Amino acid sequence: MGGMSGKRANGEGSIYPYKNGFAAYVWVATPEGDRKRKYVYGKTREETHEKWIKLHSEASKGSVQTRQRTVQAFLAYWLESIVKPNLAPLSYVSYEGSVRLYINPHLGGKRLDKLTARDVRDWLTKLSGICQCCAQGKDAKRAKARQRCCAAGECCEAFPSRRVIQAARDALRAGLTHAVAEEEIGKNVASLVKVPKPRRRRIKPWSVAEAGRFLADCADRDDHLFAAWMLVLCLGLRRGEVLGLTWKSVDFEAGEIYVDHQIQRAGRQILHRETKTEESDDFLPVPALCLKALRMRRAQQIGDRKAAGELWQGAHDLIFTTKYGTPIEPGNLTRMFALRARRAGLRVIPLRNTRHTCSSLLVALKVHPKVAQRFLRHSQIAMTMEVYAEASEEEVRAAIGKLSDAMGGTG
């Protein structure tokens, strides 16, 4: 048997045919301190040999995990060492919640390499019919006297919404993407499963007249958040962005505002973070009425500070604060918006739904479409023009007239 063909490549002695391909093993030291065989598999002898060499070099550097991790163990590692240090705190909070509440209870015990697309599909189907009040013991955590549903034997059928199910699938998919990258598994089974998209309820935004009534009512009542509502309704700022504005963000001389921070709640803490994208960091021109509202807000805050005395905690220099100078919770802003809408006798719409109204208000304030495009942060002017076409002149002018009267005449 002369020639090269008969001679085995180094280490090929441990490669043998197995199922539809080949397998090989290397003796390794495990983290627990034992010596065990760890196997690699491949379709061809060459592929298996390459994996064998890689495993060999890993084994020579230190201990190697021989048992395949469970889904739960892998996701715990992923959350701690990948998500936490590299992603936004809010992403960590959301992924961690999905893993703990929805993934681990059902898939956590399965071996990572044995998880199939069918497991994922079955899990999602099952999840949509599990009352989360029962599963998370929400009612059971209440004081005996206040238990009113699941713990009292009256299941309230609090099934997870489509959005929650989609988030759970996305969290699993993100974790498995990392497992594929680290070559713990060959393919991402979660990305093979389709989830029905959450249905969007169409809510009719406020007309300019309604927005005008809302603002006039807030101005009449000397509302502490009046300037915030002005910025949301006129400049289309997002909730976190408005709350993240500091006095440094406003240039009264130039009549501009710089949006680069936002307030977010992440689990137990409130964060004052930079906004997500470069595009959203921009100087926006501010209509005179908004500047006036900001000046009124400054006077109010000075009053609050005097009244609070020692108790004032305005370390952040934020424009919108509680009466003690602390940041306002994003969730509270949404709630206050609904309360004030009701008080002004208007239909309650979600705060984020005001971005559409904002565009018609800009028409009313005689803001040039090119400038409006910057406010709305539309990438295409066509979107802006379409919005501009919708607002009717008379109702718009009337609304603005009312508003400037409420603010004590323009100026």
- CATH number for position 116: 1.10.150.130
CA angle at residue 210 from 369 to 409, to 5 degrees? 75
Pair (236, 298) in one structural domain: yes
Domain count for the chain, please give it: 3
Residue 376 forms beta bridges with which residues? Answer: none
326: phi then psi, degrees, rounded to nearest 5:
-90, 160
The domain boundary residue, chosen from 158, 192, 226: 192
Residue 2 belongs to a domain: no
pTM above 0.85, yes or no: no
Residue 120 belongs to a domain: yes
- The helices-and-strands tally (H runs, E runs) of the chain is 17, 8
Three-state DSSP at 265 gives strand
386 lies in which domain range?
Answer: 208-406
Which CA distances in Å does 350 have to 204, 312, 362?
10, 31, 20
Pair (117, 221) in one structural domain: no
Pair (252, 300) in one structural domain: yes
Pair (75, 21) in one structural domain: no
Residue 111 forms beta bridges with which residues? Answer: 70
Pair (147, 220) in one structural domain: no
Residue 77 belongs to a domain: yes
Pair (327, 359) in one structural domain: yes
Residue 298 belongs to a domain: yes
Pair (123, 216) in one structural domain: no
Q: For strand 256-259 and strand 282-285, is the pairing parallel, antiparallel, or unpaired?
A: antiparallel
Pair (260, 382) in one structural domain: yes
Pair (234, 354) in one structural domain: yes
Q: How far is Cα 249 from Cα 283, in angstroms, rounded to an integer?
A: 9
Pair (83, 168) in one structural domain: yes
Three-state DSSP at 372 gives helix
Q: List the chain pLDDT tens, one digit each, 411 residues.
A: 444 444 555 555 678 888 788 888 888 887 777 788 888 888 889 988 988 898 888 888 877 766 678 999 999 999 998 898 888 888 888 899 999 999 999 999 999 988 999 999 999 999 988 999 888 888 888 888 888 888 888 888 888 888 899 999 999 999 999 888 877 788 899 988 888 776 666 777 787 788 888 988 998 888 899 999 988 888 778 888 889 899 998 999 988 888 877 777 776 767 766 765 455 446 777 878 888 999 999 999 999 999 988 888 877 789 999 888 888 888 889 899 999 999 999 998 888 777 666 666 666 666 666 666 666 655 555 555 555 555 555 666 666 677 777 777 644
Which CA distances in Å does 238 have to 7, 38, 262?
70, 53, 9
Q: How far is CA 205 from the centre of its chain?
A: 23
The two three-digit tokens of residue 349, written as one number: 């719409």
Q: How far is Cα 254 from Cα 286, in angstroms, rounded to an integer?
A: 9
DSSP string across 71-93: HHHHHHHHIIIIIHHHS-HHHHH
DSSP string across 277-293: -TTT-EEEE--HHHHHH
Pair (222, 278) in one structural domain: yes
Which CA distances in Å does 277 have to 261, 262, 280?
11, 12, 6
Q: How far is Cα 315 from Cα 322, in angstroms, rounded to an integer?
A: 12
Pair (264, 150) in one structural domain: no
